[in-house]
Chain A
Amino acid sequence: MSRFNDTNLAIAGDIIARYPRPKSALIPLLHLAQEQDGHVTDEAMRQIAELVGVTPAEVLGTGSFYEMFRFERTGRYLINICGTMSCALMGARELMLAAERALGVHAGGTTDDGMFTLHQAECQAACTEAPCLQVNYRYRFKMTPDGVEKLIDDLRAGRLDDEIPPHGTLARVRQHIPADRAVGAVDPDDVDGPPPWIPVSVDGAGS
């Protein structure tokens, strides 16, 4: 499956409607596609192009700029080990070596069983808790090489399924804007004059 299923197509419609111009929904829709399929497929990019009114090449052009989008089969668990300064000072290299040993792949590789993809990542904004890593963007702080091995065992055995959804799922809570509360998105060229709470000055323009 790589086109959006009915549920996700409805979600995609909601997301697009929040932006004054549909192309702004491009990155959120790529996330949605990745959540559905585990990575971004060609077919998904074609459909996103139709939905936001650009060419499939533009979707790939934008998507390929961003680190998080994966265009090939990716492990159920993407392990990102931080290698930037604070983590490097506190032993990130040992974490990577432990993970490579435990998984039998080098950084950048995916295990044959499709369970794990291992990556060296850049600063994850948890520098006081160094060295740290993320599994599908869920943190593990102050990790040790032994801790990495145990983590991989736990993931393999499904013991962390409640906490860590499969790769592609970011927030498990979606924003929901109730129709009766929404202001709604307006094309910027259709807006004329200040919003109602801004006092109109003498020359008729808002301050």
Chain B
Amino acid sequence: MTTYDWAPGFVAGDRPRIVTSRFEFEDSHTIERYLATGGYAGLRVALGRPAPEVHEEVRSSTLLGRGGAGFPAGVKWGLTPEGVYPRYLVVNGDESEPGTYKDRLLMERDPHQLIEGCLIACYAAGLSRCFLYIRGEMALAQERVATALNEAYETGYVGRNILGSDFSVDIVLHWGAGAYVVGEETALIESLEGNRGMPRLKPPFFPAAIGLYGKPTIVNNVETLANLPWIATNGAEAYTAIGTESSPGTRMVAVSGHVKRPGVFEIINGTTTFRDLLYGEEFCGGIRDDNDLKAFVPGGGSAPWFLPDQLDLPFEGRLVGAAGSMLGSGAIMVMDSTTDIPAAALTLTRFYAHESCGKCVPCREGGTWLMRILERVVEGQGTTDDLELLLEVGGSICPGSMPHAASSDLGLEAVPFPYRMTTICFVGPSAYVPVHSALTLFRSEFEERVAASRSRTRIPVTAVGGEQ
């Protein structure tokens, strides 16, 4: 395993590299390095073929979206209504799911790869304008992508009549301003139209049919697009030869928290297990101080938690779903035996309560209530009733049974993903998920906490601010 001073967090290994192949070069973000290492070759291959063929190639690669939902990119492109134009590409670079970062590295370290991916997508799906939306807080990523776009325009890779063909597309760099919910694709479109970033109700209409300015719009994640130059160059068959049938290729995964060597890895999709990632020498090398593992979040802050029981599951969407969680955006957060579970759950619930856009009442009110009740439990002022109240409030966001992991200690069977929800997007449920996981898998810690509470007087919950 190798690390590079210029890519803090990234750990290279003896594995196939599709999207991180240039990270070993300090100047990987420059057009000189990009062109010297096969850059824009995929675009040339694509432009040499009719657009529908390129689309078909991507469809048969089964490239899964890397933003969280894991929907196949080639299928998504095909959902635009026939004959309706213009169609837009919106690149989702608003990465902000707790625990996740790979899009930021891909934008900072290899911006031309992303640009080439955008061009291939636009060509294949007939998208005539591209908006590259980068999270506002990522100043370096914005500088790198802006520089790369300026280089690409100057050298004829972006803009009018690209490489002398009839393919013409502008890529417009757009930057966000700090709002987690904007990572949801319809909220992203609202934001791009100059509005508050609140999700639109879907179904019936998905962005592929009615998106930006009411026109067909494809929203793809940065990592998804970064795979396209490789697929265009090497073909779908070479891509599906890596990984598993249902999850081909590679995938970026960030592992953080209580491990010896946290890192971002490009792993073979679908086969690497959580045990490999947490304990393997080529990955994180075990839990810090050789402590026991208590729990881990397998797929970003929104994902139900896993226990040591689930360590031998591979990083594969369907299997993880059946086991009660999801892979989401590819982020694992690890808690060792010293972790204060109620306090850890609070850090996530606070995040989602804070990031609620306020459109759906169950999320706006429920998320805040969950946070305030959990706060008083953590601060030693909760009562036993509060634990039931947490489940009751959560039940108004996610009615019915909630997915959770199996526990051999507790004799619990897994409840598979997903949950039902009373909100438009996943922010509200995500405020409840950590509460539910923590309470289901570690209820005794909550009970000890409320038993030892300093005050038996219930502190009233106020929905929005106010004195406690």
Could you tell me the distance between the alpha carbons of A18 and B130 in the complex, rounded to whole angstroms? 11
Consensus secondary structure, chain A interface: loop
B180 touches A122 (CB 8 A): yes
Given contacts A20-B129, A27-B194, A127-B256, contact A66 B101 (CB under 8 A): no
| Residue A55 lies at the interface, judged by CB distance under 8 Å to chain B | no
| Residue A205 lies at the interface, judged by CB distance under 8 Å to chain B | yes
B193 touches A206 (CB 8 A): no
B177 touches A67 (CB 8 A): yes
Chain B residue at smallest Cβ distance from A177 = B153
Could you tell me the distance between the alpha carbons of A93 and B189 in the complex, rounded to whole angstroms? 35
Nearest CB of A to B325, in Å = 15
| Residue B179 lies at the interface, judged by CB distance under 8 Å to chain A | yes
Convert A122-147 into 0s and 1s, putting 1 for each residue whose CB lies closer than 8 angstroms to a CB of B. Answer: 11111111100010111101000000
Could you tell me the distance between the alpha carbons of A183 and B153 in the complex, rounded to whole angstroms? 11
Chain A residue at smallest Cβ distance from B156 = A181
Convert B77-97 into 0s and 1s, putting 1 for each residue whose CB lies closer than 8 angstroms to a CB of A. Answer: 000001101100000000111
Task: List the A side residues contacting B142 at CB < 8 Å.
Answer: 170-171, 173
Convert B267-306 into 0s and 1s, putting 1 for each residue whose CB lies closer than 8 angstroms to a CB of A. Answer: 0000000000000000000000000000001000100000
| Residue A19 lies at the interface, judged by CB distance under 8 Å to chain B | yes
Interface segment out of the listed B15-23, B165-173, B226-234: B165-173
A175 touches B301 (CB 8 A): no
Nearest CB of B to A167, in Å = 11
Given contacts A128-B9, A206-B85, contact A183 B159 (CB under 8 A): yes
| Residue A198 lies at the interface, judged by CB distance under 8 Å to chain B | yes
Chain A residue at smallest Cβ distance from B215 = A188
Task: List the B side residues contacting A21 at CB < 8 Å.
Answer: 193-194, 213
Nearest CB of A to B403, in Å = 19
**Contact for B355 among A24, A25, A122, A134, CB less than 8 A:** A122
Convert B190-204 into 0s and 1s, putting 1 for each residue whose CB lies closer than 8 angstroms to a CB of A. Answer: 011111110000000
Given contacts A30-B177, A177-B159, contact A195 B126 (CB under 8 A): yes
Given contacts A170-B136, A182-B160, contact A127 B83 (CB under 8 A): no
Interface segment out of the listed A82-90, A97-105, A153-161: A82-90
A65 touches B179 (CB 8 A): yes
Nearest CB of A to B189, in Å = 10
| Residue A95 lies at the interface, judged by CB distance under 8 Å to chain B | no
Convert A8-21 into 0s and 1s, putting 1 for each residue whose CB lies closer than 8 angstroms to a CB of B. Answer: 00000000001111
A85 touches B301 (CB 8 A): yes
Chain A residue at smallest Cβ distance from B101 = A125
| Residue B38 lies at the interface, judged by CB distance under 8 Å to chain A | no
Q: Which of A55-106 contact B (CB under 8 A)?
A: 61-63, 65-69, 80, 83-86, 88-90
Task: List the A side residues contacting B156 at CB < 8 Å.
Answer: 181
Could you tell me the distance between the alpha carbons of A80 and B82 in the complex, rounded to whole angstroms? 47
A176 touches B153 (CB 8 A): yes
Task: List the B side residues contacting A173 at CB < 8 Å.
Answer: 142-143, 146-147, 150
Chain B residue at smallest Cβ distance from A27 = B177
A65 touches B197 (CB 8 A): yes
Task: List the B side residues contacting A67 at CB < 8 Å.
Answer: 177-179
A170 touches B256 (CB 8 A): no
Task: List the B side residues contacting A25 at CB < 8 Å.
Answer: 194
Given contacts A85-B301, A183-B170, contact A205 B83 (CB under 8 A): yes
Nearest 4 CB-CB pairings of A with B: A205-B83, A67-B178, A66-B177, A181-B159
Which B positions have Cβ atoms within 8 angstroms of A?
8-9, 50-52, 82-83, 85-86, 95-101, 103-104, 123, 126, 128-129, 135-140, 142-143, 146-147, 149-150, 153-154, 156, 158-160, 165-170, 172-180, 191-197, 213-215, 254-258, 262-264, 297, 301, 331, 333, 335, 339, 343-344, 347-348, 350-351, 354-355, 357
Q: A125-B96, A194-B85, A195-B168 are in contact. List 11 more A-B contacts (CB 8 A).
A: A27-B175, A54-B194, A65-B197, A121-B137, A122-B355, A123-B180, A123-B301, A125-B135, A173-B147, A174-B146, A181-B156
